[in-house]
Amino acid sequence: MSAPLLTIADVAVELPTPRGSLRAVDHVDLSLEAGRTLGIVGESGCGKTMLSRAVLQLLPKRAKLTGRVMFDGQDLAQLAPERLRRLRGRDLAVVFQDPMTSLNPVLTIGTQLMETIQEHLELDAPEARKRSIELLAAVGIPAPDQRLAQYPHQCSGGMRQRIAIAIALSCEPKLLIADEPTTALDVTIQAQILDLLAREQRRRHMAMILITHDLGVVAGRADEVAVMYAGRVVERAPTQALFKRMHMPYTEALLAAIPKLDAAPHTPLPAISGRPPDPTRPLRGCSFAPRCRYAASDCHHAKPALTSAEIPGHLYACFHPIQMTERVGA
């Protein structure tokens, strides 16, 4: 096994709020090798976006980060701002949820694309233009040379996300962070964008972190999945293993709560009762315990650590893991 491209070691992020310190990310360890995809799944407020911001070193000003983010042999948290800036956009690229806000509305697509290319790759204008056209064609945009002169608002949501991906890919990044890249898009467009990401990733041997709230999105696209809840990784496993045998009740409940296409109409859904805990009031025990149907008294008193299951690489944080022989849901 080669050395991982990205290692997140004991990373915690705290945000000061008027109500007290909010623990957005609670001591997370993750690693990712070149050319592989890590899916991070969780509901809103579980810390998945903050974790990705910690990797990018783009946390809000007052946020406190502890732990190490090793990328390509260097600790990003210790890097000088200038070196970091050069790294972002070049080796480390990101695609956000809303392409309308991540693209600058007053600049043409060509300007935005060529600016990134010229800044990081030191190409002259005609070369940068040629490369821009190639990139737009690669992300499936028809008539790319005409698109260069257009503004973001002249494109549809799907087109804008393709353009954002083109900008992210422009400098051949080693790691692409896709933060809910398809949440704002329609389902048929979502499928196209996910295909595009997968195709480009294979072609460029790029590592990818795919952040989503939809287990369905990671199931077919990620090599490994980390499920986050209340700032912690509560289960982590190779995708196949996770869906075959999930040990953490939260993962099971999350999967069960998704309406299934093959279920009969009017089948009551096994809903998770209650809602996630208030992150400014840390719980003593397992953060899922108040909503968990398997919770026993020990769950309320101590935090379960991530422990290994029988399959290598499968970790879960639960005192009473589910021992399934059959997959749930399907």
Residue 56 CB, shortest distance to other proteins, in Å, is 22
Query: Of 88 and 291, which CB lies nearer to other proteins in the complex structure?
Result: 291
Query: Of 128 and 241, which CB lies nearer to other proteins in the complex structure?
Result: 241
Bridge pairing between strands 6-17 and 315-316: unpaired
Among 93, 194, 209, 227, binds other proteins (CB under 8 A): 194
Q: Nearest 5 degrees, angle CA 101-CA 103-CA 104?
A: 100
Query: Of 158 and 173, which CB lies nearer to other proteins in the complex structure?
Result: 158
191 touching other proteins, by CB under 8 A: yes
Query: Mind spelling out the 3-state secondary structure of 200-230?
Result: HHHHHCCEEEEEECCHHHHHHHCCEEEEEEC
Among 243, 286, 314, 317, binds other proteins (CB under 8 A): 243
Residue 304 CB, shortest distance to other proteins, in Å, is 20
Residue 111 CB, shortest distance to other proteins, in Å, is 24
Q: How many residues bind other proteins (CB under 8 A)?
A: 58
The per-type count for the chain, helices as H runs and strands as E runs, is 12, 12
- Residue burial 231-250, b: 16+ Cβ < 10 Å; e: rest: bbbbbbbbbebbbebbbbbb
List of E strands, the chain? 6-17, 20-32, 37-41, 64-71, 74-75, 92-95, 175-179, 207-212, 224-229, 232-238, 307-308, 315-316
Among 58, 263, 302, 305, binds other proteins (CB under 8 A): 263
**What does the binding site for other proteins look like in residue numbers (CB under 8 A)?**
17-19, 22, 43-44, 156-159, 186-192, 194-195, 213-217, 219-221, 239-240, 243, 253-255, 257-261, 263-275, 278, 281, 290-291, 327, 329-330
